[in-house]
Structure 1
Amino acid sequence: MLACCAAVTAQELGYWRAAGSSAQTVTGDVGFSDAKIAINFYTFPIVRARDLEPGEVSSVFDADSNSGHKGHLYKLNIPATRKFMHKNTLCGAEDTQWLATYVEGNSLNLAFFSGEKAPVFTLDAISNSSHLCGTYTYAR
C-alpha cells in the first residue's frame, strides 16, 4: 500500500510543459519537487494537505470518477502581486492559497484556489465557488 501511494506522488514530480491555452498564457511551464512548485521560474513552497478521492477529482477536473485515480491537495501561498506570463496573476487580486493536482498518463491538471479555508470538492461547491481561480493542463 505504501509503495502505491509513493508512486502516485512521484507522478507529479518533475518538469511539465504548458499544454492548454490557459497554461501557456498564464503560468508557462511548471516543475514539482517534494517541497516546491516552480511556475515560470519562480519557486514556492508547497505542503501536501491530503489526497483527493476520485469523486473529488472529478468535481474540478474533467476526470472519470470511476477511474480510481486520486489527486492531491497542497497548501501554498502565492501573493496576488506575483505576475507570471503576460503579466497575469493566478487569482486576480487575491493570494493563491491552495493547489489541487491530478495526473493521468502524461497529463498533469492543476487547479488554483484562493481563500484561507480548504476548498470543498463536490460538484455543487466547485460550480458555486468564488475561490476557484483557474484550471490548467500540462504534458510531458
Structure 2
Amino acid sequence: MLWGVFVGVVLVACAAAQERGTWRATGNSARTITGDVSLSDAKLVVDFSSYTIAKIRALQPNELSAAFDADSNAGGSGNLYRLNIPATKRLLHKNTLCGSDDTQWMATYVVGRSLQLAFFSGQTVPVLKLEALSNSTDLCGTFSYTR
C-alpha cells in the first residue's frame, strides 16, 4: 500500500513538472495574443509580464476532454489555477485575454510536447463540462503551445 501512495505522489509531481518551462506559441490565437509563455510553480509569464498563479486542483480526464476537445483516452494531464490578469493589461497587438473582464482562472492540458491553456473570467470556479462550457460567457479563449 505504501508503494502505491509513493507512485501516486511521483505521478502527480511529474504531471506538474510537465507544465513547467517555456512554451512556444503555435496556434494563431497564441501567436497574436499571448506570444510564448513560461510556467513555474508560482508564476505565469506572458508577453514579458509575470503573474502569480495558485494551483487549485488537478483536472479529471472528462474535464480535460470538455475544456480542450481532447480524447479522454489520449492521456495527458492538466490543472486548474487561480490568477488575476487585469482587463487593462494589453498583450501582443494591444489584445487582452478576456476583453473587458479580468482573467481569473487558467486551465492547463499537457500531452507530450504540447500545452493548451484555457483562460476564464468570473469569480466562480469554472465548470469544466461540455454543456456548461458551451453556454459559458466566462471562457475567454484557448491557446496552443509546443516545446
Once the two structures are superposed, residues 78-124 of structure 1 have per-residue CA deviations (whole angstroms, 9 ceiling, x without a partner) of 00000000000000000000000000111000000000001001100
Structure with greater proportional helix content = 2
Alignment of 1:7-46 (within 5 A): 7-46=14-53
| Aligned residues with identical type, % of pairs | 57
Counterparts of 2:100 and 2:63 in 1: how far apart (Å)?
27
Secondary structure of the residue that 1:43 maps to in structure 2? strand
Once the two structures are superposed, residues 46-87 of structure 1 have per-residue CA deviations (whole angstroms, 9 ceiling, x without a partner) of 000011100000111021112343310000000000000000
Task: Name structure 1 gaps, 5 residues minimum.
Answer: none
Higher Cα Rg: structure 1 or 2?
Answer: 2
Equivalent residues of 2:75, 2:111 under 8 A apart? no
Task: Give TM-score scaled by structure 2 length.
Answer: 0.93
Counterparts of 2:117 and 2:94 in 1: how far apart (Å)?
19
Equivalent residues of 2:104, 2:120 under 8 A apart? yes
For 1:72, give the aligned amino acid. Answer: N
* Between 56-65 and 7-16, the greater mean CA deviation after superposition: 56-65
Give the 4+ runs in structure 1 shifted more than 6 A: none
Task: Name structure 2 gaps, 5 residues minimum.
Answer: 1-7
Counterparts of 1:33 and 1:51 in 2: how far apart (Å)?
16
